[in-house]
């Protein structure tokens, strides 16, 4: 198979942050070359003003049977104010010829300014999941010399300053006398698309039971819009939701990409915890806003296997990356949580919860040799102390009391049902 790149641009080019951008008169042309056999790349150039001093950000958007959402997402990204970015749309073997429809849609966009933004459309031959699909784009972005990678769900729209507000903050570095290193991962303020008075999340929290949960879910954005730390506007988190987060290219090169074995769910938690254990800072920028149609994509595939994998993946992320002293100290709470969930679900006749919970633990035990292998690899590069890891967790009591009220007392559906 050959690589086919459709380019709407000129024959003259200029490099910006490791990327080559055509400039000048616009001469459509087609390029053909070698490529990896499992992917088909189409590259388009859409005009956008670029400053050589701006770090290049590659925005990766994964599409799977979500054509309208993807088009709306791309439209919002093209209106953003940041001067030096590219877009990579990865189609994960969608139905109804969506990959070609996306190419046609991108190709129909008009060129209006001097400097172009590159848009690659990549077609996967099979559904590689969230992790594998995004990794296709990440690998290409890194090979092309991107400084930062922004993973963006296709069921989102972005504020025009969502990138500018991150990069422009203190030149995106912390003071030299600060103990905080430059961040490896930056969370955005993800707001509920349908209700702008509710947050989706502002990053991750880690509970003492090993659960990764969205920070500030359903709270008001105004509460977090003016957060300040002592040294900068960034606030530390225990990771980022990959639905809208910025990742350092040097960090990804050092610690690796999303783990393909996760396929879908908690691969972002695994990457975040790996980064933290390896000494990278994960932070939240309150002025970078993205609007998320929550569960627009995941809602298409919520079946039993999805739910079992999701619960197993959460344990994987924790066990791959957490120092042994932390696991040992948390073990009583982990066992208390597991026994309580099983007993309460049995007593209240919520058989599905019991089934999903037990089967996910069984799947985790079956994968113990793989967990051990991946854990050893991560811990070879451990830089954070177990104490700093442990003290930044949150107690599980408040979260699980809310779960108890909603699921048991109010009889609301669980994520495992």
pLDDT of residue 30: 28
C-alpha 289 chain-centroid distance: 15
Helix (H, G, I), strand (E, B) or coil at 107: helix
Per DSSP, the residues of 341-361 read HHHHHHHTT-HHHHHHHHHHH
pLDDT for the residue numbered 299: 63
Average pLDDT over residues 72-89: 94
Residue 201 has pLDDT above 80, yes or no: yes
Q: Exposed/middle/buried for 150, CB within 10 Å: 0-12, 13-18, 19+? A: buried
- Provide the sign of the torsion angle of the four alpha carbons 37, 133, 193, 284, taken in this order: negative
Q: Whose CA is closest to 275, among 267, 264, 287?
A: 267
What residue spans define the domains of the chain? 2-299, 302-409
What is the sign of the dihedral through the CA atoms of 38, 40, 45 and 48?
negative
> Taking residues 81-106, what's their average pLDDT?
94
Mean pLDDT along residues 157-180: 72
Q: What is the pLDDT of residue 115?
A: 43
pLDDT of residue 333: 97
- Residue 124 has a pLDDT of 96
Asked whether 318 and 208 are in contact (CB, 8 A), the reply is: no
Q: What is the pLDDT of residue 40?
A: 52
CA atoms within 13 A on the CB side of 114: 5
227 or 336: which carries more pLDDT confidence?
336
* Pairwise CA distance, residues 79 & 159, whole Å: 9
How far is CA 223 from each of CA 197, 232, 355, rounded to the nearest angstrom? 10, 17, 38
Structure tokens at 140: 């290409």
Confidence class of residue 172 from pLDDT cuts 50, 70 and 90?
A: low
pLDDT, tens digit (0-9, with 9 covering 90-100), for 81-90? 998 999 999 9
Would you give the DSSP letter of residue 89? E
pLDDT for residue 2 is more than 50: no
Question: What is the pLDDT, as a whole number, of residue 18?
Answer: 42
pLDDT tops 50 at residue 5: no
Task: DSSP letter for 223, please.
Answer: G
> Mean pLDDT across the stretch 216-235?
74
pLDDT, mean of residues 135-143: 97
CATH code of the domain occupying 2-299: 3.90.550.60
Encode burial over 74-110: b for 16+ CB neighbours within 10 A, e otherwise.
bebbbebebbbbbbbbbbbbbeeebbebbbebbeebe
- Model confidence, pTM: 0.87
Mean pLDDT of 164-172: 73
pLDDT on residue 295: 76
pLDDT surpassing 50 at residue 20? no
In the prediction, which pLDDT does 112 show? Answer: 47
Q: Give me 58's structure tokens.
A: 């590659």
In whole angstroms, give the CA distance from residue 241 to residue 186. 9
> For residue 276, what is the enclosing H or E element?
helix 267-277
pLDDT at residue number 288 = 95
- pLDDT at residue 292, as a whole number: 98
Pull the structure tokens for residue 305.
């296997």
Give the mean model confidence (pLDDT) for residues 208-235: 81
Q: Sorting pLDDT into bands at 50, 70 and 90, what band is 67?
A: very high
Q: Per-residue pLDDT for 14 more than 60?
A: no
CB 130 within 8 A of CB 264: yes
Categorize the per-residue pLDDT at 33 as very low, low, confident or very high, splitting at 50, 70 and 90: very low
d(CA 200, CA 31) in angstroms, rounded, equals: 42
DSSP string, 368-402: HHHHHHHHHHHHTT--S-HHHHHHTSB-SHHHHHH
d(CA 410, CA 175): 48
More confident residue, 73 or 28: 73
Alpha-carbon distance of 393 to 377, in angstroms, equals: 23
Q: In whole angstroms, how large is the CA radius of gyration of the chain?
A: 22
Which of 6-20, 114-128, 247-261, 371-385 is the least confident region? 6-20
Minimum mean pLDDT among 115-129, 174-188, 217-231, 344-358: which range? 174-188
Average pLDDT over residues 342-368: 96
Of residues 390 and 4, more confidence is placed in: 390
Q: Is the pLDDT of residue 28 over 60?
A: no
Residue of higher predicted confidence among 359 and 417: 359
Q: Output the average pLDDT for the chain.
A: 84
User: Is residue 11 classed as helix, strand or coil in its secondary structure?
Assistant: coil
Q: Which of 235, 302, 316 is nearest to 269 (CA)?
A: 316
Of 152, 146, 9, 145, nearest to 89 by C-alpha is 152
Does 108 or 19 have the greater pLDDT score?
Answer: 108
Calculate what percentage of the chain has a pLDDT beyond 90. 71
pLDDT interval class at 54 (50, 70, 90): confident
**What is the 8-class DSSP label of residue 117?**
E
**Greater model confidence, 249 or 115:** 249
Quote the pLDDT of residue 163: 95
The sign of the dihedral angle between the CA atoms of 130, 133, 139, 142 is negative
């Amino acid at each position: 198979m050959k690589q086919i790149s459709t380019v709407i641009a000129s024959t003259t080019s200029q490099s910006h942050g490791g990327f080559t951008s055509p400039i000048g008169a616009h001469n459509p042309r087609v390029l053909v070359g070698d490529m990896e056999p499992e992917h088909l790349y189409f590259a388009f150039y859409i005009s956008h003003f670029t400053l050589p001093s701006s770090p290049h950000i590659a925005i990766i958007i994964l599409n799977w049977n979500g054509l309208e959402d993807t088009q709306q997402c791309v439209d919002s990204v093209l209106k953003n104010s940041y001067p030096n970015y590219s877009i990579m749309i990865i189609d994960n073997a969608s139905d109804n010829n969506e990959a070609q429809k996306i190419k046609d849609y991108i190709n129909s966009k008009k060129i209006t300014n001097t400097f172009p933004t590159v848009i690659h459309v990549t077609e996967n031959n099979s559904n590689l999941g969230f992790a594998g699909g995004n990794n296709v784009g990440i690998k290409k972005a890194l090979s092309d010399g991107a400084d930062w990678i922004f993973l963006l769900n296709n069921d989102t729209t972005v504020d025009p300053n969502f990138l500018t507000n991150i990069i422009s903050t203190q030149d995106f570095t912390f003071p030299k006398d600060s103990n905080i290193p430059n961040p490896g991962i930056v969370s955005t303020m993800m707001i509920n698309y349908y209700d702008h008075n509710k947050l989706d999340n502002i990053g991750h929290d880690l509970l003492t039971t090993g659960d990764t949960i969205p920070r500030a879910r359903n709270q008001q954005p105004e509460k977090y819009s003016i957060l300040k730390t002592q040294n900068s506007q960034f606030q530390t988190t225990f990771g980022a939701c990959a639905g809208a987060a910025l990742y350092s290219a040097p960090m990804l090169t050092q610690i690796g990409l999303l783990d393909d074995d996760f396929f879908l769910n908690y691969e972002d938690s695994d990457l975040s915890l790996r980064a933290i254990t390896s000494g990278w800072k994960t932070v939240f920028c309150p002025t970078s806003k993205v609007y998320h149609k929550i569960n627009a994509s995941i809602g298409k595939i919520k079946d039993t296997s999805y739910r079992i994998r999701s619960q197993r993946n959460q344990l994987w992320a924790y066990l791959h990356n957490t120092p042994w002293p932390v696991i040992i100290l948390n073990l009583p709470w982990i066992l208390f949580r597991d026994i309580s969930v099983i007993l309460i679900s049995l007593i209240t006749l919520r058989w599905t919860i019991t089934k999903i919970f037990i089967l996910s633990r069984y799947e985790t035990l079956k994968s113990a040799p793989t967990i051990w292998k991946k854990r050893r690899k991560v811990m070879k590069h451990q830089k954070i102390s177990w104490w700093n890891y442990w003290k930044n967790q949150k107690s599980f009591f408040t979260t699980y009391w809310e779960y108890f009220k909603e699921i048991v007392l109010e009889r609301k559906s669980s994520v495992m049902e």
